[in-house]
A and B are shown apart, each in its own frame.
Chain A
Amino acid sequence: MAEVRLVQGNDACARAAVDAGCRFYAGYPITPSSEIAETMARLLPEVGGVFVQMEDEMASLAACIGASLGGVRAMTATSGPGFSLMQEHIGFAALAEIPCVIVDVMRGGPSTGLPTAPSQGDLLQARWGTHGDHPIVVLAPGSVREIYDLTARAFALADRYRTPVILLYDEVLAHLRERMELPEAVEADAGGAVMRTRRPPDARPYRPYDAAPGDVAPLASFGDGFRFHITGLAHDARGYPTQDPAEIAAMHHRMHAKLEHHLDEIVECERWMLDDADVAVVAIGIVARAAREAVREARRQGIRAGLLRPVTLWPFPADAVREAARSARSMVVAEMNLGQMILEVERAAAGATEVRGVRRADGEPIMPEEILRALAAPAPAVRR
């Protein structure tokens, strides 16, 4: 029988990383994510990994990218202000297509904000925080067990698609302790783009970005016999800087197509009691748990409610939202911010149904009653 333990969210994240083969962690202390660094500092030496506390968050992600180029799975974790500092290197990892995992434990912002209080204020920053158009994968776990599972999945996706993957959860989940069965084995190898081999003697020149749109070029490691160039400049298939408009356009197209052609593999979304729902709640993280309670209570009161929970936040599960928008009379987006995910829900719903927001950014989690009130509000006229 699997071992059962009481595990804290941040602890589950660190354990999953090690179980998934992460052997390098670089970080900088920041509440409410520090337990991840502390646990990694304890666990990594036991498995021959490297933990290093860097001088700031920019350096932390930079070190992870360097380690990843050395052929080792690498992770960093942070919170609001540190996540802001990391943005430049998230862009670098996206453009240079270097796998790495970044955990952002969301606390109240902006600025120093509320260091010990939860928020979901980084939903759009996780997508658009770095400058320029770039693809990104963001996962949003909703329980301690799911933090474990999605951390492992983050490494698999990062390697498979040569991309930074962001794990986004709030302070409540970070410090929540739940009963969890410790898995005996982790499925972290999606088979993928990252080569762990040495250069064959008769190999053709290695081109780190030589792939058709929708494909991912294999990534070699430094020191394994492949000599190649990695740059944050726009580059051609060889990785050499280019200012040729056609080559730049091809780079962007390929970079985005590698995710867009595989949305069915990447995008995950939980649908709960949606089939006959008149009103659908859209929520992630700890808010989705409050929403589940609200949906249960609404059903007891005769309101046909359901829950749509994006597990992959980005790429946004627009198809699932669109489908729910067509079948429900209204949607309620509950989030611990002043209205971020609702913009994406409205875009996906495209006017097919009324979308209302339950918003809170005062450092307190959203309560089931708040969502229930929105569910119980008079249904709008049917617009089909």
Chain B
Amino acid sequence: MSAPVSTPMGELRRYLRPEMMPHLLCPGCGHGIVLQALLRAIDAVGLDRDRVAVVAGIGCSSRLAGYVDFCTLHATHGRAPAFATGLKLVRPEITVIVITGDGDGLAIGGNHLIHAARRNIGLFTLLFNNAIYGMTGGQLAPTTPPGRRASTAPAGNVEPPFDACQLMAAAGATYVARGLAYEPGVLQGLCEEGLRHEGFAFVEVISDCPEYYGRYNALGRGPEMLQAQRRRTAAVAPLLDRKARLPSTVMATPGSPAATPAGVIATPEGRKQSPPGDVPAPVGSALATGVLHRASRAEFTRVCRNSGLHAWRSPEDPR
């Protein structure tokens, strides 16, 4: 992974819509850090702003689509991958970015996400996981860890959570990574690779919701939550070096040149430390971060184009 290119903060402002400010994120929310990492990645990759579309669903993270100066589509709850699929199929030359949250992408929109991954359509999907529904007031999400409280789980969650990365790798995504709001530089690198990837690229970012999840579970404010998330995760590359993965969670696509595990990584450190904070992960194990899965498979719009199923025209063609 190349070292993140550092764009001066002032230069990032040109990617924002000042007339949409103030934004609606709460103090201590990690989503703004994530957006900055995404914009830095877009800048580093050198994308033409006119040829970038951001398609988002509903929720705190999805509202970010309105703040960035690209072609932006703030769609319906959970359905952003489907809107994005239609757009990408007719305009494959556009870089299409899907912004979604854990409730948006894994609950109401889970079906669209897995089918977009299955098709391996060239969408870069960034899923903000804060383990709760923030926009609607702190309800239980499909990523809320067992035992944790939410406004609709006042006695603690009794459901097991989804592992978004395992789900995406199993569904057919050809680039799967997990990053942290706590590590924007690393996250930027993961996004850059995802933006350059040809095929369905998925990055889950662990972010925080101090206002609801933090408050309901006495996890402190933003900084404490983000630090705790860092302590409860482990970068996958050094762990792989020590071969400390659980064999049962390894997922490799047959024939893939660089298949790596997307599963939960068991580390002695993770168990020992067991910090007071929390991340959306099974208790007692660390959550793997970094590039978790890579596979090589034909991208969907390219497949369509090669089969003559395509309305693609060169950007220079009059329409």
Residues of chain B within 8 A (CB-CB) of A223 are 50-51, 53, 71, 91, 93-94, 315
Interface residue from B65, B66, B90 paired with A24 (Cβ < 8 Å): B90
| Known contacts A26-B86, A222-B87: A59-B79 contact under CB 8 Å | yes
Q: Is B302 an interface residue (CB 8 A)?
A: no
Assess the B82–A48 pair: CB atoms within 8 A. no
- Which chain B residues in 9-65 approach chain A with CB under 8 Å? 17, 19-20, 49-51, 53, 55, 65
Assess the B71–A50 pair: CB atoms within 8 A. no
Assess the A232–B90 pair: CB atoms within 8 A. no
Q: Is A368 an interface residue (CB 8 A)?
A: no
- Which chain B residues in 246-302 approach chain A with CB under 8 Å? none
Complex CA distance for A70 and B90, rounded to whole angstroms: 6
Assess the B72–A66 pair: CB atoms within 8 A. no
Complex CA distance for A366 and B112, rounded to whole angstroms: 40
Interface residue from B66, B83, B309, B318 paired with A44 (Cβ < 8 Å): B309
Q: Is B8 an interface residue (CB 8 A)?
A: no
Q: Is B311 an interface residue (CB 8 A)?
A: yes
Interface residue from A51, A60, A222 paired with B71 (Cβ < 8 Å): A222
Complex CA distance for A197 and B223, rounded to whole angstroms: 48
Q: Is B75 an interface residue (CB 8 A)?
A: yes
Residues of chain A within 8 A (CB-CB) of B196 are none
CB closest chain-B residue, reference A205: B19
Q: Is B186 an interface residue (CB 8 A)?
A: no
Assess the B71–A92 pair: CB atoms within 8 A. no
CB closest chain-B residue, reference A49: B311
Residues of chain B within 8 A (CB-CB) of A67 are 86-87, 89-90
Residues of chain A within 8 A (CB-CB) of B76 are 58, 62, 88-89, 92, 232
Interface residue from B83, B93, B309 paired with A66 (Cβ < 8 Å): B83
- Least Cβ distance of A291 to chain B in Å? 39
Complex CA distance for A364 and B20, rounded to whole angstroms: 55
- Which chain A residues in 57-82 approach chain B with CB under 8 Å? 58-60, 62-72, 74
Assess the A71–B309 pair: CB atoms within 8 A. no
CB closest chain-A residue, reference B63: A241
- Which chain A residues in 232-246 approach chain B with CB under 8 Å? 232-233, 238, 240-241
Assess the B311–A23 pair: CB atoms within 8 A. yes
Complex CA distance for A229 and B70, rounded to whole angstroms: 8
Residues of chain A within 8 A (CB-CB) of B309 are 44-45, 49-51
Residues of chain A within 8 A (CB-CB) of B83 are 62-63, 65-66
CB closest chain-B residue, reference A51: B309
Q: Is A230 an interface residue (CB 8 A)?
A: yes
Residues of chain A within 8 A (CB-CB) of B50 are 199, 223-227
| Known contacts A59-B115, A89-B76, A232-B76: A221-B319 contact under CB 8 Å | yes
Complex CA distance for A6 and B25, rounded to whole angstroms: 60
Q: Is B153 an interface residue (CB 8 A)?
A: no
Assess the B66–A63 pair: CB atoms within 8 A. no
Assess the A63–B89 pair: CB atoms within 8 A. yes
- Nearest first, the 5 A-B pairs at minimum CB distance are A66-B86, A63-B86, A62-B82, A59-B82, A66-B87
Please name 14 pairs of A and B residues whose Cβ atoms are closer than 8 Å in the assembled complex, sorted by A: A52-B86, A58-B82, A63-B89, A66-B85, A66-B88, A67-B86, A69-B87, A70-B86, A92-B75, A223-B91, A229-B65, A230-B72, A232-B75, A233-B74
| Besides the known contacts A66-B55, A223-B93, 16 further A-B residue pairs in the complex with CB atoms under 8 A apart | A23-B90, A26-B85, A50-B89, A50-B90, A54-B115, A55-B112, A66-B84, A66-B85, A70-B87, A72-B90, A89-B79, A199-B50, A221-B319, A222-B73, A227-B50, A232-B74
